[in-house]
Every structure is written in C-alpha cells, then in structure tokens.
Amino acid sequence: MSTARVPRAKILCELCHDRKAIMKRPKNLQKICKECFYHVFETEIHNTIIDANLFQRGEKVAIGASGGKDSTVLASVLKTLNERYDYGLELVLLSIDEGIVGYRDDSLATVKRNQKQYDMHLEIVSYKDLFKWSMDEIVACAGVRSSCTYCGVMRRQALDRGATKLGISHVVTGHNADDMAETVLMNLLRGDTGRLEKSVNILTESSGSPVKRSKPFKYTYQKEIVLYAHYKKLDYFSTECTYAPEAFRGTARVLLKNLEAVRPSCIIDIIRSGEQLKLRPKKQRMRVSAVAQEVEVKRDGSVSLKPESSNTCERCGYLSNNRICQACFLLEGLEKNRAKVLIEGGNTAIAGAAKITRELEALSF
Amino acid sequence: MTNKQARNMSEIGQTCRRCKNEEAVLISRKEPFCGACFVHFIRGKQRKSMMSDDFKVKYGAKEKEITKVLLSLSCGSSSLVLLDSVVSMLKEQAIQHRSRQGFELVVAIIDTPSQQTLKPKEFIQKFKESVETSNLSVKFKIFEMNSMNISKDEIQTLKIDTAFQLDVLPSEIEGDSMTLTELLDQFSSKSTKQDFASAITRKLCFGMAKSLDCGFVLLGHSMTRLAVEVLSLTVRGRGSEIGDALHDGEVSSESGLRVIYPLRDVLLSEIEQYIRVQNLTHLVPLESPEYPKRLLRNSSIDEMIWDYFKDVGTNYAEVVSTVVKIGDKLTSVEVGNPCKICGELVADDPSHWLRKITVNEPFCDETVSVQSPDSSRSKPSSDEVHQTICYACIVNMVIEPADQAQWPRKTSFESDVLEEYIIDDDD
C-alpha cells in the first residue's frame, strides 16, 4: 500500500522572509536561503578584511592554493570581493608541491583548473627543487610520525620563497575559524606561552621578513566553507593528506568537533577567548653585565645570536634567529640518515602510500 | 593487562620508597607509597600552600587577630580531602601548641538541589563520626540555595536585541519572588545553566565569607578540576577570566578577601586514592574506573572536558599540569564595567565584535522585495542606552529559544542579606 506523500510546509528564510530556506547556518543555526547565505558569508569576510585593514590598493597578493576546499573558496571569494568592493588587488595563485605522489599531484591538477577558471597567474614551488627532498622521501627516511613537523617548517619557507620569487610581500592562506580554535586549544594543552597570545592573530609578520601572511577566513566556519563550495559548485579536491596528522592534535580536534555538536558557537567563543588571553608581565630579573652574559648553546651546537647580529640562516639565507634555520636543521638530520644505496623497487614508501591507495582504488574485479 | 598496569602491580608488592618499612599499597607519580606516607604526601601539598604566618599559631594574640578561614565544602571528593587535611593541620597545631590553633575554620556548604551525594547535615554528621573535631574550633554553616527568595522589585527582565545589545526592562515574573533555582531553570541549555550556576555559587561563597567575617577562602579544586576550568572558560568565551579563576590571591582589591587552592598540585586520581586510604568512601561514592560514557548530546561543555582529560590522561599524563601552569600565567581584565548578568568586568564592547563577524542582514536584489522581519527579538534603536554585558553572557542568552530572562538587579550577594539565610549545623 502506498501512502501519498504529504508536502512539507515551505520554511521561509529567517533573514529575507521571502525565499525558501534551504539550509541551517552552521554558525548560529539560522534557517536561511541560498542568496542570503552567499550574502552573509561574503560580507562577513569583507568585514574581517576591512576591519583588520588587510589589503592596500594596488597590492599584489598571493593566495596559498592547495586545491582543497579552503583555498579554492578563498580564491573564489577574494576574486568576487576584489571586483565587488574594488580592492584594487592583483591576485596570484601560489602552490606548494610537497612531493606526495597520489595526493599532491591530483590536487595540483585541481589548482591548474582553478587557474583557468579564475584567470589568475599560478606559481608552483616544489620541496624537491627547494630542499632536494620530497615529502615521500622524508617519510621513507624519518617515518610518518614526524611528517607534519617537517612539512610545516618547509611549507612556511616554501611559501615565503615562492612569494619573494614573484615579488609579492603578502600571502593569504585558507586557515578557517575551526583551525584558529584548534590552535588556541593546542597552545593551551601544550603550554606554549610563546605562541599563546598570538594564536588568533589575523596578520603575522616576522621582523626582517619581506613576506607577511594573513587569514581572511579567521571567523569563517569550516562547515560554511564546504557549503559555499557545494552550492557554488566550485571545483576542489577533497582528499585529506595521506600522512596521518599528529596524534595529540587529533584528540583536540575530536574535542572541538564534539563541543561544536553541542554548542555551535563554541568555535567563535574559543577565538574570542584566544583574543583575550594575555600573559602576566614577567618579573624583572636582575640585569647581568654584558661581559658576563651567558650564551645559550642549543642541542645541535648552534648558539642564539645577539640582537645586533644578522638574523638570517648562514646556509640558505632564510630568516632565522639561530645560526641555521629550522628547515636546514631538520634537513641536516635527514641527510645523515639518507640511504647511500637504494634497492630498485625495494622501498615502496618512497613512491608514496597515497599512490598505492590510488592504484588499489582503480582496481576492478 | 597493559604494560603500565603490570608494572604497577609488580611495584605494589614492594616496600614504600618513603618510609622504607611498610608495604606499598598504591603507585602515585611512578612512586610506590604505603597508606600513611601517601596521606602525608598529599597533606604536605596542602600545608605548603598554607605556610604563611596567617595560619601559624600566634601566642598572646587577641581573638580579633586570629585568622578566620572559610572552607567551601561542596560535599564532593576534593573538598572532603581538603577538609580532612585542614582538620589534621589544626589537630597537629593543637598538639604542638597546647590546644592552640593558628586559625579558626568555618566550613561553608552551599546546599544546591542538584547535589547528588548526602544532604549537608547528614554529611557533616558522618564526617564528625569519622574525624574527631570536638576539641577544635571548627564551625559548620549551611546555606540552602532555595531558602533565599529574591523579591520582584529586585528582579528585572533582560533582553538581547538583534544587534547583540542588552536591554533592561521591568520584571515580568508571575509571583512575588523567585528562588535561585528558579532563576537557573529559565535556561534550557545544560551548559548555560552550569555557567550561571558556577558564577552564582562562587559569589555566594565569597558573600558567605564576608558575612562570616573570614579573610581567607579555601577552595578544594584539584589540579584536574583547575585544568577543566581553564579549558571550560576558554570554550565558553570567558578566556579573559582565567587569570582570576586560578590564582591564589585577592578576589578583588576592595573585598580584601584572599582565595587559596591548597590542592592545586593534587590530581583527581590522587584525591580518590586518598579517600580510599583514609576510609572516607562512605561520605563520597567514587566513580568506578569503567564509568559509563555519557551521551554526547546530553553532555554539557564541562562534562565533555572532564571526559577529555580522563581519556587523554592515559597517554598524555602531563597535559593536566601543563594546562594549569599556563592558566596560572594568565592575567584577567582589571578595568571595566561589570556585566549585568555575571558581574565579570568587561573591557570592550563584545556586541560590536559580534556584529562585525555575524551579519544578520538579508540579501537584497531589485527583483525581490524584502519584507520587514517578524523577529521576536526587538530591533536596536540608536538612541537607547544599552547595559554592559560580557561576551559569554550574550552567547548564553542568544542560544536560548526564549528571547529574554528574569535576573536579579545586583550581581553580587550582600553579606547582611546572606546572613539571615546562613544556618549553623546545630540549628
């Protein structure tokens, strides 16, 4: 027996009270229509940009593009806002090829399509060219557990170098509100006093560095980015990096997702807290005379430089407070462990775990 | 059996590393302890935080010069351990100084309807049966939350408009007064209720200390509880209050009241071990190690963070102390107007901040005429004077389906008002 379907009552958008609501907004659970969603989503990002005075007219800005949802939406929204509000920006896509076969090569193909769709110049910087190591090689040598440590340090430098090559002094990244909230929690859980006050800074500049970076999606929920990409039918690559994220960070991420399920505002609430976290001023220690001043010798034998000394790495010339930068320090350790001889076809890890997964997915029986 | 458990079991057969005489009955911080040495170890932590001259025996001191200390007893495990430890300190002083005490102890219990354990009177009676206090100057005071009625004149209606600003209107309550429980029951969210309940309890505790003429307040928060507090305040948007909520020191410059957390170095697992060793389990039922997991949707923010620390503690034991240490390094807002709801100082305009990042305007194009929204929340008007409200209270109000709440005009409790509701254990 078939029962006739009862037509559901049309729910009107809570903002315009005219069009049909098609979604519950993840940020505040408001039921809104597609047009109002686009409007609030883009206007909030515009407000963030204006309030932080992120861009200057005529500025050339590189968008850190991975091909994932965040950076694809960032490119699309920045292009829209640049035209709508006449920011006067020249937007360029800047991609990093970490050398993860089966993951990054596919996502870079997406970025190349984005380049045509948004009509922007694209620059790709690879780890292999810059550091002579790909991530697959690093994982094969140092193991998967520390992969994020290497990748994070190297990506930061690669973005800076790519931007410098293009003569750009401003890189925007797709870090969203969920990432910001996770960072606040992680800095508390790790007791990282050095980073705590800066956890939620929208603009980060290092003294002496020619490149500044900013996060226009600071207050934008990850779920809303996904919805925006979905309704706008944006072309993005949705696979996560095959090298597992750090286990402890995973615990904070799960906590955040659980909290968000109970109270959606908690992501913004954590960012609000993050903006208010201030360390108590340190007690003034007795000043030691310049002659008797101690010099800290680090584990690798390097020493901290005095303020008047040059703050660049003596090997690669990149910004560093120490004799050698963090990337060169990590690479030095890798070089010591690099296999002198490789067995042909013996080490499948170098080819990348992701490549094997892709090949298995393609099999049919 | 995990390697860790196996190692613990093998070490329990050893002798205690402190006295080198008794057999170890438990492992704490990788060290085998006998019962007596473990109790001494935990009490040592409490003694260390109360080492100042304020708590030492002063020969020839007049009655007014003797320090009066209020111990807030929630009838939970941590405050019970603190009470047992502080009473033992007084006993030691009485033995060493011929029945003299360094300070007078007032144990204050705020009786909330949600209390799961024994009722306060029963708790005090059973405690006195277990721990001898008759020769000491220890007084027990009870404040029953529901005994206090706030009259209609003292209540106002609070309303948040679409611009996240607070409007204060005359009271709309049906009866002549409201109890504190009725105030909290207005809110449907469990997290909101807990947020406001903890603010009220804290203020009641300080109000009681003032009305009972106490200069110090001892709170039995364990290290685990303080770590939960740091994360919970952060998640609730109260990051700016962490410094005040964690420090040992003055509540506020004008109150002259000082707060101490004597168990800030003691983990919750150690609190539970102390209760077992001291045979106090009949006062506080301890959670079994295989506790049933709470359903996610029924959990409050605090409960989720408790569960997080329980889960994470097995693999990352140092996290709890790390969070407390960093929380203790934070500072709080020192200058600002008090929030009309929770009374915390507000330095900036959180409604402006929220308006900036949450657009509530519809999309307008020429083809569609946007109707005026039939919103239940009133539209903001520029000429209205809005009251101060903190960020966390805005969020608490906005997520509630009802768009308004009844709330007392005063955000703190006057000591002379509280006085008439505080009852002695003997009453």
HEC profile of A295-328: CCECCCCCEECCCCCCCECCCCCCECCECCCHHH
**Model confidence band, residue B370 (pLDDT cutoffs 50, 70, 90):** very low
Binned at pLDDT 50, 70 and 90, residue A147 comes out as: confident
Tokens describing residue B16? 């205690």
| Mean pLDDT (whole number) for B214-228 | 95
For residue A325, the model assigns a pLDDT of 85
Distance from CA of B324 to the nearest CA of A (A): 9
pLDDT at residue B389, as a whole number: 93
For residue B362, give how far its alpha carbon lies from the nearest alpha carbon of chain A (Å).
5
CB atoms within 10 A of CB B61: 12
Q: How far apart are the first and last CA of chain A?
A: 39
A140-149, A315-324, B162-171: which has the highest mean pLDDT? B162-171
Whole-angstrom distance, CA of residue A229 vs CA of residue A231: 6
All residues at 6 or more sequence positions from B265 whose CB lies less than 8 Å from its CB, including other chains: B45, B48, B223
Q: Mark yes or no for CB contact A276/B239 under 8 Å.
A: yes
The answer on pLDDT for A20 being more than 80 is yes
The H-assigned helical ranges of chain A are 34-51, 69-84, 104-118, 127-131, 135-142, 147-165, 177-190, 193-196, 222-231, 247-262, 266-276, 326-337, 348-351, 353-362
Q: Which of B135, B122, B6, B25 is nearest to B75 (CA)?
A: B122
* Two tokens, residue A321: 């407070």
B359 interaction partners in chain A (CB closer than 8 Å): 39-40, 43-44, 47
How much is the pLDDT for B379? 47
Let me know: does A154 contact A127? Beta carbons within 8 Å.
yes
Write down the mean pLDDT value for chain B: 85
Distance CA B415, CA A14 (A): 47
Q: What is the mean pLDDT of residues A6-17?
A: 81
Widest CA span in chain A:
95
Contact between residue B395 and residue B233 where contact means Cβ atoms under 8 Å apart: no
What the block records as the tokens of B282 is: 């009949």
Q: What is the pLDDT of residue A296?
A: 64
Chain A contact set for B306 (CB, 8 A):
none
How far is the C-alpha of B87 from the C-alpha of B280, rounded, in Å?
14
Task: Give A63-102 pLDDT, tens digit per residue.
Answer: 999 999 999 999 999 999 999 999 999 999 999 998 888 8
Query: What pLDDT band is residue B377 in, cutting at 50, 70 and 90?
Result: very low
| Interface ipTM | 0.89
DSSP state, B388? P
Mean pLDDT: which of B117-131, B184-198, B401-415 is highest? B184-198
User: A231 CB contacts (<8 Å, ≥6 apart)?
Assistant: A34, A37, A38
**pLDDT tier for residue A289 given thresholds of 50, 70 and 90:** low
Q: Which residues of B touch A27 (CB under 8 A)?
A: 358
Chain B residues in contact with A191 by the CB 8 A cut-off are 322-323, 325-326
Query: CA dihedral in degrees (B170, B172, B177, B181; nearest 10)?
Result: -110
Q: How many Cβ atoms are within 10 Å of B46's Cβ, its own excluded?
A: 23
Nearest by CB: B330 against A48, A251, A280: A280
Nearest Cα residue to A162 out of A57, A90, A61? A61
State pLDDT tens for residues A217-240: 999 999 999 999 999 999 998 877
Q: What is the pTM of this model?
A: 0.87
Chain A interface includes B313 (CB < 8 A) = no
Give yes or no for residue B382 having a pLDDT over 50: no
> Is the model's pLDDT at A304 over the cut of 80?
no
What per-residue confidence (pLDDT) applies to B71? 96
Domain boundaries, chain B: 34-286+300-360+376-424
Q: Report the gap between the CA of A34 and the closest CA in chain B (Å).
A: 10
Query: Could you tell me if A63 and A201 are in contact, meaning their C-beta atoms sit under 8 angstroms apart?
Result: no
What CATH number matches the domain at A34-176+215-244, 3.40.50.1100, 3.40.50.620, 3.40.640.10, 3.40.50.300? 3.40.50.620
**Mutation choice for B interface testing from A29, A81, A189 by most B CBs within 10 A:** A189
- Supply the DSSP symbol for A283: P
Chain B positions in Cβ-Cβ contact with residue A21 (cut-off 8 Å): none
Torsion sign, CA atoms A13, A19, A22, A23? negative
Query: How confident is residue A274, by pLDDT bands cut at 50, 70 and 90?
Result: very high
Examine the pLDDT at B2 and tell me if it is beyond 50.
Answer: no
Residues B279-315: b if buried by 16+ CB within 10 A, e if exposed: ebeebbeeeeeeeeeeeeeebbbbbbbbbbbbebbee
pLDDT at A303: 63
Asked if residue A174 belongs to a known ligand binding site, the reply is yes
Q: According to the model, what pLDDT value does residue A320 have?
A: 79
* Contact yes or no for B157/B404 (Cβ under 8 A): yes
For chain B positions 363-402, those within 8 Å of chain A (CB to CB) are: 363-365, 368-375, 391-392, 395, 398-399
**A92 φ, ψ (degrees, to nearest 5):** -130, 145
Please tell me the distance in Å from B318's CA to the nearest CA on chain A.
9
Amino acid at the residue A349: A
Q: Quote the DSSP letter at residue B131.
A: S
Inter-chain Cβ pairs, chain A and chain B, closer than 8 A: 158
- pLDDT over 50 (residue B383): no
- Helix or strand run (H / E) with residue A88: none
Altogether, the residues listed in chain A come to a count of: 365
Top residue of B363, B371, B397 to mutate, by most chain A CBs within 10 Å, is B363
The dihedral through the CA atoms of A238, A145, A176, A107 has a sign that is negative
* Shortest CA gap B287–chain A (Å): 22
* C-alpha dist (Å) from residue B308 to B224, B256, B319: 11, 36, 11
Q: What percent of chain A is predicted at pLDDT more than 90?
A: 51
For residue A235, say whether it is annotated as part of any ligand binding site. Answer: no
Residue A263 dihedral angles phi and psi, to the nearest 5°: -135, 95
Q: What is the DSSP letter of A362?
A: H
| DSSP per-residue letters across B43-69 | HHHHHHHT-SGGGS--TT--GGGSEEE
Q: Where are the beta strands (DSSP E) in B112-208?
A: 138-144, 149-151, 155-160, 166-170, 177-179
Using a 10 angstrom Cβ sphere, with 0-12 exposed, 13-18 middle and 19 or more buried, the burial of residue B139 is middle
Q: Dihedral through CA A215, CA A218, CA A222, CA A226, nearest 10?
A: -60
Banded model confidence at residue B16, pLDDT cuts 50, 70, 90? very high
Asked if pLDDT for residue A193 goes beyond 60, the answer is yes
Q: Which among B357, B374, B391 has the least Cβ separation from residue A47?
A: B357
Expressed in angstroms, the distance from the first to the final Cα of chain B is 53
- Per-residue pLDDT, A309: 54
Residue B420 pLDDT: 67
Q: How much is the pLDDT for A293?
A: 57
For residue B40, name the pLDDT band (cuts at 50, 70, 90): very high
Q: How far is B405 from chain A (nearest CA, A)?
A: 19
pLDDT tens track for B70-129 = 999 988 899 999 999 999 999 999 999 988 899 999 999 988 776 556 788 889 999 999
Q: Cβ distance A19 to A169 under 8 Å?
A: no
Tell me, yes or no, if A259 comes closer than 8 A to chain B by beta carbon: yes
**pLDDT tens digits for A327-340?**
888 888 888 877 66
Strands B422-424 and B404-408, by their bridges, are unpaired
Least confident of A193-202, B60-69, B264-273: B60-69
| A278 contacts on B by Cβ (under 8 Å) | 240, 330-331
Nearest to A274 among B239, B331, B357 (CB): B239
Across residues B175-203, what is the average pLDDT?
Answer: 90
Q: What tokens were used for A244? A: 């597992």
Least confident of A226-235, A300-309, A327-336, B40-49: A300-309
- What is residue B187's predicted lDDT score, i.e. its pLDDT? 93
Q: Which residues contact B375 (CB under 8 A, 6 or more apart)?
A: A14, B162
Q: Give the per-residue SS3 of B278-338.
A: CCCCCCCCCCCCCCCCCCHHHCCHHHHHHHHHHHHHCCCCCHHHHHHHHHHCEECCCCCEE
Which residues in chain B touch residue A282, judged by CB atoms under 8 angstroms apart? none
Q: Which helix (H) or strand (E) holds A143?
A: none
Q: Is B326 within 8 Å of chain A by CB?
A: yes
Mean pLDDT, residues B181-192 taken together? 92
Residue A34 makes CB contacts below 8 A (sequence gap 6+) with A19, A22, A23, A231
Q: List the single residue in B with minimal CA-CA distance to A258.
A: B296
Instruction: Select the more confidently predicted residue: A308 or B362.
Output: B362
pLDDT of residue A305: 55
Q: What is the pLDDT of residue A167?
A: 93
> What is d(CA A33, CA A24) in angstroms, rounded to the nearest whole number?
9
The per-residue pLDDT for A282 is 78
Q: Is A119 annotated as a binding residue?
A: no
- Rounded to a whole number of angstroms, the distance from the CA of B245 to the nearest CA of chain A is 13
B34-286+300-360+376-424 has which fold?
A: Rossmann fold (3.40.50)
The per-residue pLDDT for B381 is 47
Diameter of chain B measured on Cα atoms: 91
B87: enclosing H helix or E strand: helix B77-96
Q: Is the pLDDT of residue B60 over 70?
A: yes
**Sorting pLDDT into bands at 50, 70 and 90, what band is B371?**
very low
The H-or-E segment that residue B4 falls in is helix B3-12
Structure confidence at residue B38 as a pLDDT band (50, 70, 90): very high
What is the tens place of the pLDDT at every residue in B235-265? 999 999 998 888 888 876 667 789 999 999 9
Torsion sign, CA atoms B281, B285, B286, B289 = positive
Q: What is the pLDDT of residues B151-169, one digit of tens each?
A: 888 899 999 988 899 988 8
How far is residue A40's CA from residue A15's CA, in Å, rounded to a whole number?
10
Report angle CA A217, A220, A223 to the nearest 5 degrees: 125
Question: Annotation-wise, does A126 bind a ligand?
Answer: no
The residue ranges of every structural domain in chain A are 34-176+215-244, 287-322
| CA closest to A44 among chain B residues | B357
Q: Is B182 or A208 the better-scoring residue by pLDDT?
A: B182
State phi, psi for B60 to the nearest 5 degrees: 75, 10
Q: Are A27 and A268 in contact (CB under 8 A)?
A: yes
